[in-house]
Amino acid sequence: MLVHLSRFNKPAIIFPYKRMTMIDLRTGSCLNLALDLEDESIDCTVTSPPYNKRGVGGGLFRKIKYQDFDDTLPEDEYQEQQIELLDIIYDKTKEGGSLFYNHKVRYDKGGAISPWQWLTKTKWNIREEIIWNRGSGPEISGYRFIQTDERIFWLCKGSKHPRLPRRSANWTSVWKFGPEMKNPHPAPYPIQLPARCIQAVMSEPGIVFDPYSGSGTTGLVATLLGHDYIGFDLSEEYHDMARERIANPSKNDLRKFSDETGLAAESDTDVFTLAQS
Give a yes or no: residue 276 inside a domain.
Answer: no
Give me the pLDDT at residue 160, please. 82
C-alpha 195/C-alpha 198 separation (Å) is 5
Say how far residue 205 (Cα) sits from the centre of its chain.
18
- What's 158's domain CATH number? 3.40.50.150
DSSP 7-76: TTSSEEEEEESSSEEEEEEEES-HHHHHTTSPTT-EEEEEE------TT--BTTB-----SS------HH
CA torsion sign for 265, 266, 272, 277 is negative
Give me the pLDDT at residue 153, please. 98
Note whether 103 and 85 are within 8 A (CB). no
- The burial of 164, by beta-carbon neighbours within 10 Å (0-12 exposed, 13-18 middle, 19 or more buried), is given as middle
Give a yes or no: residue 11 inside a domain.
Answer: no
CA–CA distances in Å: residue 243 to residues 153, 214, 231, 248: 27, 11, 11, 8
Count of CA atoms in the C-beta half-sphere (13 A) of 39: 1
Give a yes or no: residue 17 inside a domain.
Answer: no
Give a yes or no: residue 14 inside a domain.
Answer: no
Note whether 231 and 37 are within 8 A (CB). no
- Collapsing DSSP to helix, strand or coil, 127 comes out as strand
Residue 148's domain spans which residues? 24-261
Beta strand 149-156 with 111-113 is unpaired
Instruction: Of 247, 234, 256, give the one whose Cα is nearest residue 33.
Output: 234
At 91, the amino acid letter reads D
pTM of the model: 0.84
Note whether 26 and 232 are within 8 A (CB). yes
Give a yes or no: residue 267 inside a domain.
Answer: no
Give a yes or no: residue 16 inside a domain.
Answer: no
Give a yes or no: residue 171 inside a domain.
Answer: yes
Give a yes or no: residue 4 inside a domain.
Answer: no
- Backbone dihedral region of 248: left (phi > 0), alpha (psi from -120 to 50 degrees) or beta? beta
Q: What is the total count of domains within the chain? A: 1
Residues in the chain: 277
| Helix H or strand E encompassing 268 | none
C-alpha 95/C-alpha 193 separation (Å) is 23
pLDDT by 10-residue block (mean), the chain, 277 residues: 34 44 94 97 97 61 50 90 98 97 91 96 98 82 84 94 94 92 64 97 96 95 96 93 92 93 58 29
Task: Tell me the per-residue pLDDT of 169-219, one tens digit each, with 9 for 90 and over.
Answer: 999 999 999 887 565 554 669 999 999 999 999 999 999 999 999 999 999
